[in-house]
Amino acid sequence: MSQEFKDITALSALTLGKMIKNKEISVEEAVRAQLNTIKLREPSYHCYITLLEEEAYIRAAEVQKLIDAGELSNSPLAGVPMAVKDNICIKGMNTTCASKILSNFVPTYEATVIEKLKQAGAVIIGKTNMDEFAMGSTTETSYFGETKNPWNTAHVPGGSSGGSAAAVSAEEIFYALGSDSGGSIRQPAGYCGVTGIKPTYGTVSRYGLIAYASSLDQIGPLGRNISDCVAALEIISGHDERDSTSVNQQSYQYTKALVDDVKGMRIGIPKGYFGAGLDTEVKESIGKAVEVFKNKGAIVEEFELDAVDFAVPSYYVIACAEASSNLSRFDGVKYGYRTPEFDGLQDVYKNTRTEGFGNEVKRRMMIGAFVLSSGYYDAFYNKALKVRAIINQGFQKAFDKYDILLGPTAPQTAPALGESLSDPLKMYLSDIYTVSVNLAGLPAVSLPCGLDKKGLPIGLQLIGKHFGEKEIIRAAYSLEQSIGYTRPTIQPSEIRKEA
């Protein structure tokens, strides 16, 4: 690969957008550079399920005309290549949810976030890999094969938005969309050394997002820095009448919060986040970040967060119950995969779902059906809802005193491939710091704050009150100014190819 293409794909999304507007780079050149990088690195990382190469060049020409005509002058990301997690519908393009049962599904409609991105001049390069139906924390449950961590290909990228996070980290895309039901944007962002934002529930329309757990799912951006993420978040945020959970907020001017100033900001650290199970190197790295905030004038205190120890079991009961209901529509009758061998309707249902769903999806659907069943509803599901309310109350109490909360994104850095799948309970526990945010519908951001001794990224999480995105953005930007962004080392095989 030429140095010119390498330099283009290493740029931030906003920098590239500015260069396109200034006529320093054409949209077609940016797309060509990105696709060349993808073709070289994709065999190592497998970030994508579907590449939209022909469509990207056609779109590049369309966007270039709009830019030249001055019609996208207020869009900072116009012409910048981006990617979309493969559970977000694009009209006329395969949307698989990384599952065999949807491997041939082509939506006849567009997700609201896709409509907004296209209006802003986005060029979609492809659909990224993920855990099947967003059920997993490693991107190993995909029907199309596992994604690997660009920092070390023997390790997972996290999940379920692991393809999006790995693509941003590997410079296979400038920014990407993911979805977050219990940490599925933030945890892979932490594992891959990039930034990811999970916005307040209802801030971004879920219309066109294939549901895992409807009361928890939220679409959000991943980028190499907080500024890129904020620019994308401003584009996709907003009320949508097609989504009954969409909130009618008047202003989403998040870029105004990109200021290096946390003086007087009150930051709370839940004591339970730093107990047993937290890796020592992660704890030390978070501690150094805390000192940065203190040196910049922030007020940092520890406090007790109610019911946080019960967040993981509460989350998995609720999420699996909702998944059991949401995935009942995939039966081989209406769309998607249908078993070739059946004798009657019952066989169609049974064989299609047996052959079409992976083991993790089946496990969660069975758990969901169990906790919703007669005799167990009160013992499990209803109790989980009560715990959810207590967790929400605990957060509200904390935000009476603090502007934001701080903690690790995950208890350890990225585990080795295969390690989590052999122990599902361990995989579930990796979400211990992220699931409570979804249960309460709060906004949160994960950003890199260091590396462990293996050279793997460590993620730090900042949590805000409802619609408190501007506070966590300001804190993230301030920390980023002090610690910067570190690129992963390209694998030796790719260095030879690109030399």
**Span 292-309, average pLDDT:** 94
- The single residue of 12, 85, 148, 198 carrying the catalytic annotation is 85
Helix (H, G, I), strand (E, B) or coil at 173: coil
Please give the Cα distance from 62 to 60 (Å, whole number). 5
Residue 424: is its pLDDT beyond 90?
Answer: no
pLDDT for 6 equals 60
**Span 371-382, average pLDDT:** 93
pLDDT tens, residue by residue, 439-459: 999 999 999 999 999 999 999
Please give the Cα distance from 99 to 360 (Å, whole number). 11
- What percent of the chain has a predicted confidence (pLDDT) above 70? 97
- The single residue of 12, 99, 142, 160 carrying the catalytic annotation is 160
What tokens does 140 get?
Answer: 């190993």
- What percent of the chain has a predicted confidence (pLDDT) above 90? 89
Determine contact, residues 461/445, Cβ cutoff 8 Å: yes
pLDDT for 5 equals 55
Burial pattern 52-81, b for ≥16 Cβ within 10 A else e, equals beebbbebbeebbebbeeeebeebbbbbbb
Q: Which of 186, 156, 160, 135 is nearest to 407 (CA)?
A: 186
**What is Dmax (Cα atoms) for the chain?**
71
Residue 154: is its pLDDT beyond 60?
Answer: yes
pLDDT tens, residue by residue, 124-137: 999 999 999 999 99
Determine contact, residues 409/437, Cβ cutoff 8 Å: no
Please give the Cα distance from 286 to 280 (Å, whole number). 10
Range name among 131-145, 277-291, 426-440 with the lowest pLDDT average: 426-440
What tokens does 7 get?
Answer: 């330099």
**Span 336-358, average pLDDT:** 94
The H or E element containing residue 147 is: none
Residue 2: is its pLDDT beyond 50?
Answer: no
Residue 286: is its pLDDT beyond 70?
Answer: yes
- The single residue of 169, 184, 227, 478 carrying the catalytic annotation is 184
Residue 337: is its pLDDT beyond 80?
Answer: yes
**In degrees rounded to 5, what are phi and psi of residue 209?**
-90, 120
Determine contact, residues 104/49, Cβ cutoff 8 Å: no
Mean pLDDT over all residues of the chain?
Answer: 94
pLDDT tens, residue by residue, 392-412: 999 999 999 999 999 999 999
Compute the residue count for the chain. 499
Confidence of residue 498 (pLDDT cuts 50, 70, 90): very low
pLDDT for 360 equals 95
Question: CB-side exposure of 51: number of CA atoms within 13 Å?
Answer: 17
Determine contact, residues 467/399, Cβ cutoff 8 Å: no
Q: Please, what are the domains in the chain?
A: 3-261+443-498 (3.90.1300.10)
pLDDT tens, residue by residue, 175-198: 999 999 999 999 999 999 999 999
Please give the Cα distance from 383 to 127 (Å, whole number). 38
pLDDT for 250 equals 72
160 has catalytic annotation: yes
User: Is residue 137 classed exposed, middle or buried when 0-12, 13-18 and 19+ CB atoms within 10 A define those classes?
Assistant: buried
Range name among 30-34, 163-167, 302-306, 419-423 with the lowest pLDDT average: 419-423
Q: How far is CA 136 from the centre of its chain?
A: 12
Please give the Cα distance from 111 to 114 (Å, whole number). 5
pLDDT tens, residue by residue, 361-370: 999 999 999 9
Residue 491: is its pLDDT beyond 80?
Answer: no
Please give the Cα distance from 344 to 182 (Å, whole number). 38
Q: How far is CA 4 from the centre of its chain?
A: 30
pTM (two decimals): 0.95
**In degrees rounded to 5, what are phi and psi of residue 198?**
-105, 110
pLDDT for 3 equals 52
**Span 425-443, average pLDDT:** 90
What tokens does 39 get?
Answer: 């073709």
Q: In what order do the strands lie in the sheet with 266-270?
A: 48-51, 123-128, 81-85, 175-179, 219-223, 195-198, 444-451, 457-464, 404-408, 266-270, 299-303
Q: Which residue has the higher pLDDT, 381 or 309?
A: 381
User: Is residue 308 classed exposed, middle or buried when 0-12, 13-18 and 19+ CB atoms within 10 A define those classes?
Assistant: buried
**In degrees rounded to 5, what are phi and psi of residue 79?**
85, -5
pLDDT tens, residue by residue, 213-268: 999 999 999 999 999 999 999 999 999 999 999 999 877 899 999 999 999 999 99
